[in-house]
Amino acid sequence: MALIPKGLLTKSSRGKQGRRITSAALRDSFDRRAVLIGGLQGTIGVLLAARLGFIAVGENEHYRVMAESNRVNLSLIPPRRGWILDRTGAPLAANRADFRVDLIPDKMTDHDQTVDKLGQILSLTAVEIQDIKDRLEDAHGSRPVEAAAHLDWDKFAAVSVRQPDLPGVVPQRGFSRFYPTGPCVGHLVGYVGAANAKDYEKEHNPLLITPGFKIGKDGLEKRFDTELRGVPGARRSEVTASGRVVRDLESRDDVPGDPIRLTIHGGLQDYASRRIGLESGAVTVMDIHTGDILAMCSMPSFDPNSFSDGIGRVEWKMLSEDDHVPLRNKVLHGLYPPGSTVKPTVALAFLEAGLDPSESVNCNGGLQVGNRVFHCWQHHGHGKVDMMKGIYQSCDVYFYHFAQRMGMDVIAAMMHRMGWGREYDLPLGNQSFGTVPDPAWKMRKYDKEWAIYDTVNATIGQGYMQVNPLQQAIVASRIASGKSLTPRLMADSSQPEFQPLGVKQEHLDLIRQGMWEMVNGRGTGARARIDVPNVQIAGKSGTAQVVGLNFGNGKGGAWKHRDHGHFICFGPFDNPRYACQVLVEHGGGSGAAMPIAKDVMTYLFDQQKAWDALLPMEAGWGGTPQQRMAAKYQGFSRQYGAAAPRVGDGDAAVARVDAGAASPQPIQSDAAAPAPEPVAAAPAPPSVVGGASTAARPKAGRQP
C-alpha cells in the first residue's frame, strides 16, 4: 500500500528508521498513556476533594455568614418626621399614613419595561411614567426612586401581588410628608425629597438609601433636618433573591423626630398667601413686641407636597417659565427699589439732624437740581409742603429740597439705624440684602464721586437703593416700636430685650402721625384704611419705577415694565402691636399693595371680616392657589405631555433660581430717576384702582 509519497515520509521518519511500529507497540503505548490519563483523572479527583474541603470546612464560617446575610434582610423603617408647628401648635407640615411604591435600580432587570408594566397596574399617565424614567436615569445602585405614593389599597395590593414578576419594585406602607396648606408654606418650610448622590456622599448613612426615607431639601426642612429626622426602626425578615419577603423575623419601632415650633401664625400665613391672589408678591407680618414673624409669604409658590417625589418635567416647565418666579422666595431674595416707603426714615433723619418739621417748601411739580428738573409725582404741585404733608402726600419735592440741605451721610446713617440694607439672622439660609448707598460706597463700587442727584434719588427710594421685603417689615416694626427690633422665626416664650432706636420720642410721634394721616386723613393711602371698630392703622405707600419712562408710564403695558407697588404699615395706631409689609411686583403702583395690606391687617383683628372679603375674590381668580396650580398643571400636561424637557438635578435647579435673584434690578449708575407715585389723592373712592388716577406721570429730562 503506497499511500504515502516517499518524500513526505523521509523527514518525519528520520532517526526512527528501522524502528517498526507494530500493533504490540501501539498496545504498549496505549497502556502507558491510559495510566497517564487515569493519573490525570485521579489528580483532578483529589484536587476537587481538597477544594471541597477548603470551601466547606476551611471557609465554612465565612460562607455561613454570607448565606445568612443573603437570607436575612435587615431593612430600616424610615422614622416619622417631626412636625413643623405654628405658634398655636397647628401643623404646617405633618405626616400621613401612605401606601407607596419604590424602585431599586440595582435590582431591576429592564428599567423601561418594569416602569411601563407598573404604569399599567397603577394607571399612570404618560407624563408620570416619563418622570419616573427620568428619575431612574439619574439614580444608581441601591438608591431608591419613588415611583408612586398616596396609593389606595387596591392599587397597592395589585402591585404587591405582581411583585415577583417586577424585580426591584418595592411596595411599602409608611408615612409621607404632608403640608396641609401646600403652596402657602412652600417657601417658608421648604420641602423634602429622597437623598441624592451628593447627600449620600456627605453622610454615609444606610438610612439615606432606605425606600421611603426623605431628607429636608430646602427651607426649614433642610435647616432643621437633624432635629426633625428621628431614629429609624428596623425589621429583620427572610427574603428571596428577588426581594420577596418570606416571613418577618423581628422588628423594632421607629422613634419619630422632634417637632419644631415657629412663630408663624398658620391661619394668617394661609390667609395672606391666598390674598396675594394672581399677583406676584410678598407679605410679611411681624409682632413688634417680640420680633416674631407671624407670616412670611411669597407667592406664587410651589407645592411642597408634589416636590417630595422629585420634580417632574411638566411641573418644572410650569414653574420655571412663569415670569412670576414661583421658585423665588421674594421676601428674602427679591430686591426692589423701595420707592416712597423710605420717606419716613428720611424724614426721621431730617428731624434728628435738626430740621424744623414746620419748615416748608413750595412744590410746583418739580425742582431743578443742577441742570436737571426732578419732578414730583404730582406734577400739578402740592403747594406749600411741610414735613407732615411731605409724608402723607408723599411730596417728592419736599424731600428733594431738604435732602440737598441735610446731606446723604445723615440719611444713610439713619437708614442703617432703621434696619435697611442688612441681613438678619433667620434659619432660612442667606438673604439678598441689597444696598443703602452713600458716597463712600459709590466710590468703592464705581470709582465715581457722589453726585447731588444720587442723594435726590436715594431719598425717594430709587437710584442705587435696593431692599428686600423683610427689611421693609422690620423698618415698619421699628417705627412702630421705637426699638432696634430683630426678627425671629423659631417660637420662643422668652421676651427678647431690644435696644431703643435712640431717636427722640417726639420725632417718632411725628413720623407716626404722618403715616396715620396718610391712611386715615388727608393722605394718599385711603385704600388701606381698615374697617374694624376702634382699630386704625398707619402706613406709607411706595411706587417703585422699574424701567425708564420710554417703556411706558409704569401702569399699563407689558407686565414686567410696570411699577412695583409697596406698602408698609403698623397697627393699632394708638397701641402698636403688628407691623406689616406688602409688595406687589409690577403691580402698577402702590395702589395694588394697599388693599392687600388692608385685608391682612383686618385679619389680625377680625378674621371673619377678612375671609368675607377674600372668598368672593378668590372664586373669581379660579380657586385657592392649590386649585389654580392643579388646573394649570393639567393645562401644561395636555399641551406638552412627556415632551417637556428634562429637569436634571431638580434640587440644584431650584436652588439656582433662588440664588439668581440677587440682583433683579439693573443698577443705575448715572441717570437720575424721576419720582415714584402713590395713588390718587386723598379720599378718592376706593373703587377706582390704579388706572383711574388723574395724576400724570412726572417727566424726567433736561430742562429745555
Task: List residues binding other proteins (CB under 8 A).
Answer: 1, 3-4, 8-9, 12-13, 16, 20-23, 25-27, 29-31, 33-34, 37-38, 41-42, 44-45, 47-49, 51-53, 55-57, 59-60, 62-64, 66-68, 70-71, 106, 238-242, 246
Closest by alpha carbon to 680, among 670, 668, 692, 697? 692
What's the closest the beta carbon of residue 583 comes to other proteins, in angstroms? Answer: 55
Q: Nearest approach, Cβ of 55 to other proteins (angstroms)?
A: 5
Nearer to other proteins, 48 or 659 (CB): 48
Closer of 6 and 444 to other proteins (Cβ): 6
Three-class SS state of 464: coil
**Residue nearer to other proteins on the CB measure, 31 or 203:** 31
- 3-state DSSP call for residue 635? helix
Q: How far apart are CB 104 and other proteins at their closest, in Å? A: 11
- Strands of the 245-252 sheet, one edge to the other: 72-77, 233-239, 245-252
Note whether 461 and 676 are within 8 A (CB).
yes
Residue placing its CB nearer to other proteins in the complex, 60 or 368: 60
Pick between residue 22 and residue 499 the one whose CB is nearest to other proteins.
22
**Which residue lies nearer to other proteins by CB, 4 or 197?**
4
Alpha helix segments (H runs only) across 175-257: 186-189, 197-202, 219-223, 225-229
Report the nearest approach of other proteins to the CB of residue 56 (Å). Answer: 4
Q: In whole angstroms, how close is the CB of 198 to other proteins at the nearest point?
A: 23
| Phi-psi label, residue 370: left if phi above 0, alpha if psi -120 to 50, beta otherwise | left
Q: How far apart are CA 509 and CA 493, in angstroms?
A: 30
Contact 468, 313 (CB under 8 A): no
Tell me how far, at minimum, the Cβ of 136 lies from other proteins, in Å: 17
Pairing of strands 91-103, 169-178: antiparallel
What cell was used for 498? 431690644
DSSP string covering 28-61: HHHHHHHHHHHHHHHHHHHHHHHHHHIIIIITHH
**Least spacing, CB of residue 166 vs other proteins, in Å:** 15
**Which of 246/692 has CB closer to other proteins?**
246
- Residue placing its CB nearer to other proteins in the complex, 34 or 667: 34
Query: Cell 436575612 identifies what position?
Result: 72
Q: Are 589 and 678 in contact (CB under 8 A)?
A: yes
CB nearer other proteins, residue 30 or residue 446: 30
Residue 582, CA distances (Å) to 54, 185, 270, 299, 515 in order? 79, 17, 15, 11, 15
Rounded to the nearest whole angstrom, what is the least distance from the CB of residue 173 to other proteins in the complex? 23
CA distance 607 to 122: 43
Q: How far is the CB of 27 from other proteins (least distance, A)?
A: 7
CB of 43 to other proteins, least distance (A): 10
Those residues whose C-beta lies under 8 Å from the C-beta of residue 289, and which sit 6 or more positions away, are: 481, 495, 577
Our CB check for other proteins shows the closer of 31 and 323 to be: 31
Q: How many Cβ atoms are within 10 Å of 122's Cβ, its own excluded?
A: 17
